Structures are given as structure tokens and as C-alpha cells.
Structure 1
Amino acid sequence: MKEQIILGSDSWPDYLTTTPAGEWTQDLLGPGFEQQTLDFGMDDEGPAIATLVRYRPIGFRKRLGRKAEGVVLSVHGWSDYFYNRELAAFWHSRGYHFYAIDLRRHGRSLREEHQLPGYVDDLATFDQDLDAALKVLRAEHPRLPVVAQGHSTGGLILSLWLARTSPEIKALVLNSPWLEFQGTAFLRIPIHGLMDAITRTNPRRKLMGPEFDHYWQSLSTHAHGEWDVHRLWRPRLAFPNTAGWLKTIFEGHALVAKGLELDVPILVMTSDKTRIGTSYSPEMQHCDSVLDVQQTRLRAGKLGSFVTLCEVPGAMHDVFTSAEPARATAYRDLALWLRMISSARA
């Protein structure tokens, strides 16, 4: 029987209240979901907090017991947050304790004082969020291996975090990771130089350009999608791009292009085709309408020495939000890969 959902996101507040340190409270996703604030004080943008969400369905200890395979830490993409109940249930069904983090100035971690949602001028800023989340996971599950999972920009952030800090992570699952700028380094390099010049005087400067809502339309139940997403946390138009943010993204892409030499098993999942346009079309329900999947797969080889490429026919940019049968295929392939690396560890 499926768990009852308390309220749709239309009834959720725009901003949540920071919880006391170490205290888990009921999450807005409903029964089985809890959240905890990771509070880092203040930074230049206001309250510096992240939010950790965990999945603990009724009877979860009995279901997992001593057979727990590990723990998962999931990281969302740009202009995004954790909302996928089905993803949490999948990992739980495979014997994993599931956690997801809303990074600072994203989703549950947004506060009214934040003038630039999602903004950082150095992706290494997120190391503090991820280190704190990992500390909680280690305290609650000290003997279990940790798998990190990241979507889009979250995949880039996780990959760079592993390369910089070498946390004790046993495997990395990347769902359409953003590893290169719109398919080519030829555009990234000159634009990076321009962003570098702007950042020296005003890293928070908003970049003017066309705004598109086609991905939101393919995702949201208010348009053509299947997912109830929050109006502010997964907005129709993406968070404003700034010079400082784009510069640090380009720097991350350059590091990937040089090679990260990660020494963990890595699964890179993408759609089988790309359809990037300026307006919505029904075809976008069955392809990646955000990134060039071929360039993503090419850059994936620069992540480490043990990279598995998984192409999911008919998948969207987030393969786990795709329409069926693509979504079932994505879960099937992830389950097969998990079984493979578990056998290898044994």
C-alpha cells in the first residue's frame, strides 16, 4: 500500500523554519520523511544552512535489520530540491538507508533573506554542507558504506567534492551530470574569461539572457509532467544566473576536462538522445532537453578509471522523473549496477 501524502506542494510555505541542532522533524513530503537543519551560521548571503532529509518508513528497522547494504546521500541539481518519494523508496527496497540534502540557498534551505537563490561563487562552498551531512550519516550508521548520488549540477558538485576532500564514499551514481558547458569546451573557455573579468568587480551581477520554461513544463503536474514541484524551490524559470556562479561552474568543468582520477565505481546515467530548444515540445518528455548527452558521456571518461555508462532510452534530463517505461528501465539498470559492485566488493 502506498503511503498517504499529507499535502501537495501548493499548500507548502515558501520558507521553512530552522530547526534546533540535531533535531529531526516531520518533513513536508509526508509520512516516513523527516528533515533536519544543518546550521553554519551566517555568510555573505545571509543564513548559511543546508537541510538533510531522511526516509524512515513505518517498520524501517524491521525491513532493513542487519541486511542493510549501505547508506545513500542524494544531491539535487540547479534550481532544484529533493521531492522524489519514489527514489527514496527504491533505495530503501534495495536495503539502503536513504538521505537527501537540500544545499544552501536551495529548496528547504532557502530563507527570505536570500536575495540570490542557489548562489555561490565557489563550488567548494558546498563542501561544508556535504561534510556535515556525511558526519550525520556516519554517526547514525557507523559501519555501513556510503553511496553518493547526484543529479545534473549536483553530479558536478559531488564529483569535485570527492576529488578535493577524498571522503569515505564507496560508489558514485550520477544522473545526467553537468560535466561540460552546453556540449562544448569551445564556448566555455571564452565565456569563462568574460565571467572572470566581470567577477572581479561584481560576482553577484545577474546575467541577462533568454529564459525558458520547457524543462519545467516537462516535469510539473501544472503543465505536461508527473511531478508535484514547489513553485519557489523548483521554479518555472531557473534561478537567476550570476557571473560568480557561472565562473565557478566553468572552473569545475575545466577540472573535469583535465581528469579527476576518482578511485570509486561510478555509474553515469543519461537519456539516449538530446532535444534542446527554446520552447516546449512533446518530444521533450522522452529526451534530455537540458544537456547534450553525448558530451556528458564523453566527459564521464574523465571522472575516474571505473566508469559505467548507462543509456536509458526515452529518459528525460532527470532519468528518475521520466515517463514510463523509461523510469522503470532506469531503476532496473541502477539495481543491476548495485548488484554488480556489491558482488565485486564481496
Structure 2
Amino acid sequence: MLQDMKGSTYSSSGQWPDFTDTTEPGQWVADPLGEGFEYTTLDFGVDDEGPAVGTLVRYKPLGWRTLLPRRYNGVVLSLHGWSDYFYNRELAEFWEARGYHFYALDLRRYGRSLRAEHEIPGYVDDLAVYDEELDASMVLLGAAHPDLPIIAQGHSQGGLILTLWLARTAARVQALVLNAPWLEFQGTAFLRVPMHGILEAIGRNNGRRKLVLPERDHYWHSLSDQGVGEWDIHRLWRPRYAFQPTTAWMKTILDGHALVAKGLDLSQPILVLSSNASHLSTNYSPIMQNSDSVIDVQQTRLRAIKLGSFVTLSQIPGAMHDVFTSAEPTRAAAYRDLALWLKMFQRKR
């Protein structure tokens, strides 16, 4: 059993089901994350991989304080990264404490949206496919909170997905918070361009072809309480070895990186949080507890300033890849910077 910020206990992920149940349309049910969390299924029928569903999670804290009248400032829609899902109670509690309704989306073939029929978790051959989940989430949020501004929040691959979605749609999002967004291929664009050509050639006839890459568990080791981290994470939804990438998936990621490199001209205020250093290695090192072991943060900051005209960069010394999973006091520094930026956003409105 673990404790949340208020000291109440909730079940560990070892007691969670491998696959969550699909809800009826409009039905919210208790989420495995515990007290105050509910989820609903977004059903898009069946695609080539099986059931095409997304899952929207919401946080509705319980207790006597919820009975008092309260003015909310807005709504947050949070999006996870690659081989990932929403599990951070503390993040939901942060937003709620500042007067924001909190929602998180598990994309199709991720987390709560993963089904036994799915042979390739996380598979997609075009990031624009996720427009269905994002658009449907926006409809639900708009109906539930019609007069409140919406902030989109994305981590790693989720940050890339959100920026591209906003660049090609007219989504009613007033601000964007990016947590170590994956905006460029590791290394530089000099590696991305030839890599794109190779993937296009080998995946032309079979985009589902899996890339044979070394299996590495260093990020899981730094994150999980089963390693040296402090987070209780699901064995299938955030596995020790990340989902195996395919040629089509990697190609659409590189296509997205190329678009970011050209500039997206987003009009929303954007906050980009990242560690102050990267440590990219094939083997675990204690240094990874105090640095980004997944993306190149220098390249991320260079690409971030091309997202739009109002971009704020926050460097968090000693942060991990997901800055909000870093150890204290680093995690507190990330929340401090987010709170300061949030005050600026609210004044600007």
C-alpha cells in the first residue's frame, strides 16, 4: 500500500487488473488508481489492431471540502509518453489544489486502453490517428466545463502529439505545458534524416515490422519502486522493457520531429520543463536519478523555441526524464516553476 499527499492509502498496481473493463457510453466508474479517480471509455469501434478505445481519467477529490462552493480557474487535459500511462496522483492533486479540474487520457493501446487482443502495444502508423481521442476528450471537457479555459499538458511523446494536434486543428486549448517533450530524434537532425529514409525503405510493405533494438531497462530501473525509484507502476502498462517500436511508428515520430524543426507557429502560451542535463547510456547509472536518460535536453530546448511565439523554458537541475517523478527536492522545484508560470498565465487572461 502507498500513501497520497494527504496520507490516505490506496492499492498498489500489483493489485490492478491487467486490462480494465470497457464502460458504457457516458458511464464513469472507479479507477484502479484509487480514491477520487474515475474513468470512462472512449470507443471508436475496431481498427486493424483490434478494439480502438481511449480512456479518460478524471480526479474528483472526496471529503467535506468538496461540499463547499468553489470557483474553478480552468481544466487540465494530461497526456502520457511512449510505453506509459497516467499514474501520478500527486500531479492531479497539484492541479486540483490550484483550482483546475484534472483529466488524463490514456491513448489507444496504452495503459487502461490496452486490451488482450492488441498484439503491438502503442502501435500507430500516423500520430494524427490520436486526433480521435483528443477531439472526443475535448468534447467531453467542453460539455462538463463550458466556460472554463483548457490547458493541455504532455510528457515526452505526449508533448509531441499535443503540439502537432494543436498545429493542425482549431482545438479550444488556451495554454500548453510540456514536460520533457520529445521534439527531436536523439542526437540531431543529421541522424533523423538518414534514419527516416531507412525506415521508409524497410517498412514500405510492412509498417508493423518490429525494429530489432537492444532491450534496455535503465529508465524503468530509475523510475520504479521495484528498482531504485519511488513510483508504483503497472507491469504491463509501464513495463520494464519499453514497448517494441515498429517501422511505421518510428517513421511517424520522425515526421513529427521534422515538422517541429520547421516551426509550428502555435499561438498559445507554452511552458517547457526539462532537466538541466542528459545522460544517454545503454546501462543504468546512478547519474540517471538526476538527469534525463531518454531525450537530449539541449536539442529539446532548441526545438522548443520553434513551437510558437510565447515559449517559456524551465530548466530543473537534477530532474529525471519525467520531471514530476524526480526525487525531492527536485520535484518540488518543478512544481514551483509550474505554479509561477500558471500565475503568469492567469494574469495574462
Return the TM-score normalized by structure 1.
0.98
Q: How much has 1:65 moved relative to structure 2? A: 4.0
The aligned residue for residue 102 of structure 1 is: 106
Q: Which one of the candidate residues 40, 45, 49 is aligned to 1:41?
A: 45
**Within-5 A mapping of 1:176-325:** 176-325=180-329
The letter of the residue matching 2:341 is W
Provide the rounded CA distance (Å) in 2 between the counterparts of 1:65 and 1:260: 40
Write the letter of the residue equivalent to 2:260.
V
Call closer, same or farther: CA 1:93–1:241 in 2, change over 3 Å.
same
The gaps in structure 2 that reach 5 residues or longer are none
**Does structure 2 retain, via aligned residues, the 8 Å contact 1:4–1:30?**
no
Counterparts of 1:60 and 1:104, CA distance in 2: 36
Partner Cα distance (1:61, 1:24) in 2: 22
What residue in structure 2 maps to residue 331 of structure 1?
Answer: 335
Letter of the 1:226 partner, please give it.
E
Deviation at 1:210, TM superposition (A): 0.9
| Letter of the 2:163 counterpart | S
Note if 1:5 corresponds to 2:9: yes
Q: 1:49 & 1:183 partners in 2: Cα distance? A: 34
Q: Secondary structure at the match of 2:11?
A: coil
Alignment of 1:86 onto 2:90: yes
Correspondence 1:137 to 2:141: yes
1:125 and 2:129 aligned:
yes
Summarize the Cα distance change of 1:60–1:267 in structure 2 as closer, same or farther, 3 Å threshold: farther
Deviations 1:271-309 (A, max 9, x none): 001111111111100100001100000000110000000
The answer to whether structure 1 residue 72 and structure 2 residue 67 are counterparts is: no
Taking a change above 3 Å as real, the CA distance of residues 65 and 137 of structure 1, as seen in their structure-2 partners, is farther
Provide, for residues 12-71 of structure 1, a one-character-per-residue CA deviation record: whole Å limited to 9, x for no partner. 111111110110000001110000000000001000000000000014884784421100
Looking at structure 1, the residues matched to 43 and 7 of structure 2 have their Cα atoms a distance apart, in angstroms, of 30
Q: Percent identity?
A: 67
CA distance in 1, matches of 2:189, 2:65: 48
Q: Which of 139, 144, 151 in structure 2 is aligned with 1:147?
A: 151
Q: Distance in 2 between matches of 1:223 and 1:208?
A: 25
Amino acid at match of 1:228: D
**Contact 1:146 1:170 (8 Å CA) reproduced:** yes
What CA distance in whole angstroms lies between the structure 1 residues aligned with 2:64 and 2:157? Answer: 31
CA contact (8 A) 1:177 1:296 kept: yes
Q: Are residues 60 and 201 of structure 1, via their aligned partners in 2, closer, same or farther at CA, if it must alter by over 3 Å? A: farther
Deviations 1:107-126 (A, max 9, x none): 00000000000000000000
CA-to-partner distance for each residue in 1:119-151, whole Å, 9 max, x for gaps? 000000000010011111111101000000000
Note the C-alpha offset of 1:323: 0.4
CA distance in 2, matches of 1:64, 1:272: 41
In structure 2, what is the Cα distance between the partners aligned to 1:81 and 1:258? 29
TM-superposed CA distance for 1:3, in Å, is 5.5
CA RMSD, 1 decimal: 1.2
Give the 3-state SS of the residue equivalent to 2:9 in structure 1: coil
Q: Residues of 2 paired with 1:260 and 1:61: CA distance?
A: 42
Aligned residues between the structures: 345
Alignment match, 2:166: 162
2:201 maps to a residue whose letter is A
Change in 2 beyond 3 A, CA 1:105/1:112? same
Once residues 213 and 68 of structure 2 are traced to their aligned partners in structure 1, the CA distance between those partners, rounded to angstroms, is: 49
